[in-house]
Amino acid sequence: MKAVVRVIAWTTALASSSSALAHGIAPDGWHDVGTLWSSDPLVSVPLIISVSLYAAGAFRLRHRLGRLLPGFGAREIGCFLTGTAVLVAALNSPLEGAAKALLSAHMVQHILLVTIAPPLLVLGKPEVAWLWSLPEGWRRGLAHQGKLRSVLSPLSPLMKPVPAAALQMAVLWIWHTPALFDAAAATEWLHWIEHVLFFGTALLFWRAVIKAAAGREAAAAALIACFITLLQSGLLSALLSFARQPLYRNPGTAASGLTALQDQQLAGAIMSIPMCVVYLVAGLMMAARILTPPAALRAARSRLTSVEVASRT
């Protein structure tokens, strides 16, 4: 418990200075709260474009049909906006700087990028709103673009639950090897590649899992994928928690009052509880889908189909 209190106190102090965030040094004083947040254009610009297109598409859809589609309403819009807010908190908040200095803070960021933001964004169905944000000619052209489908067809196996889980697992373990992890912490461009791969493979995984909920056989594959992901996340967290020596170089541990080993053990504990709970809940939901009567599944598929058809019109 003392370790948790120390890392929270130090992270808060670290957040109060943008220069401290960049170098992993605890600041001496407090500053205006506005300085606690960064505005990195690599994050801000894509998010602004994404939200703008989403809002334009939802507005046009509402204006064109006089209503939102079944399966694309206030709940989906809320999920998308919440997922976007989580991304901002993970990448533009003081957490980004703290994550470069403390493994425990990095793990909090990891959880937001892998298990919180991606499923919310997928549930928000951005592809529908983004399509409707385009001019009608472009929208129809994309919906019937055979060449685009042929280009994407080799990637279709990776869009299934088990292959997507395997890809996400490989990325997770590769980037947590000590040499690559330390290199990413010390090199800005490598750090961003790590973010992109974590977030991208998580989006692929959650899209496959959530889409699989419409059918019993697909839900069974998603259940296996969630179980695999749960096991490997638990294994990595146990490795971090029970290692007898630090696996990574953590430059912020001296200023935080934690040893490198304590910081690593705290990171393992942080990883084990939230991540495993999310994958466990997702697996239980897939199990419930398997046990759902076929009539209810047909209704769910019809709602999904109505959204897909409307996005092509």
d(CA 33, CA 35): 5
- pLDDT recorded at residue 16: 38
CA 138 to chain centre: 29
- 164 versus 11: the higher-pLDDT residue is 164
Q: Quickly state the pLDDT bin for 44 (edges 50, 70, 90).
A: confident
Mean pLDDT within 307-312: 49
pLDDT score, position 169: 93
Note whether residue 134 is domain-resident: yes
CA distances from 288 to 76, 92, 108, 124, 292 (A): 21, 37, 29, 22, 6
Domain total of the chain: 1
Name the band, by pLDDT with cuts 50, 70 and 90, for residue 225.
very high
> Measured between alpha carbons, how far is residue 212 from residues 161, 175, 216, 269 in Å?
8, 28, 8, 30
Task: Map residue 101 onto helix, strand or coil.
Answer: coil
What's the mean pLDDT in 233-253? 84
Where is 122: in which H helix or E strand? Answer: helix 117-123
Higher local confidence (pLDDT), 212 or 64: 212
> What's the one-letter identity of residue 8?
I
- Phi, psi of 246, rounded to the nearest 5 degrees: -65, 140
pLDDT higher than 70, residue 223: yes
Instruction: Inform me whether the pLDDT recorded for 309 exceeds 90.
Output: no
Under 8 Å between Cβ of 120 and 284: no
- 253-306 confidence digits (pLDDT tens): 656 677 888 889 999 998 888 888 999 999 999 998 888 766 555 555 555 555
User: Which pTM was predicted?
Assistant: 0.78
Place of tokens 């090897």: 177
Residue 32: phi and psi, rounded to 5, are -55, 135
- 173-204, pLDDT tens digit by residue? 999 999 998 888 888 889 899 999 999 999 99
pLDDT band, residue 15 (cuts 50/70/90): very low
Query: Is residue 34 domain-resident?
Result: yes
Residue ranges making up the domain that contains 48: 2-143+158-310
**Is residue 152 one of the residues assigned to a domain?**
no
- Residue 202's pLDDT is 95
Whole-number average pLDDT of the chain? 78
pLDDT at 303: 55
In a domain, 125, yes or no: yes
DSSP 241-296: HH-SS--S--TTHHHHT--HHHHHHHHHHHHHHHHHHHHHHHHHHHHHHHHS-HHH
Residue-wise pLDDT tens digits, 102-120? 888 889 999 999 999 999 9
pLDDT at residue 63 tops 60: yes
Token readout for 253 is 């541990």
Asked if residue 151 belongs to a domain, the reply is no
CB 98 within 8 A of CB 252: yes
Q: Is residue 57 part of a domain?
A: yes
- In the chain, the percentage of residues whose pLDDT exceeds 90 is 34
**Rounded distance, CA 308 to CA 313, Å?**
9
Of 303 and 230, which is predicted with more confidence?
Answer: 230
Q: Say if residues 23 and 10 touch (Cβ distance below 8 Å).
A: no
Residue reference for tokens 């759902």: 292
DSSP string, 43-85: HHHHHHHHHHHHHHHHHHHHHHHSSPPTT-SHHHHHHHHHHHH
Residue 248 is predicted with a pLDDT of 86
Predicted pLDDT of residue 108: 93
Cβ(96)–Cβ(105) under 8 Å?
Answer: no
Question: 221 versus 33: which is more confidently predicted?
Answer: 221
Asked whether residue 282 is assigned to any structural domain, the reply reads: yes
149 domain residue, yes or no: no
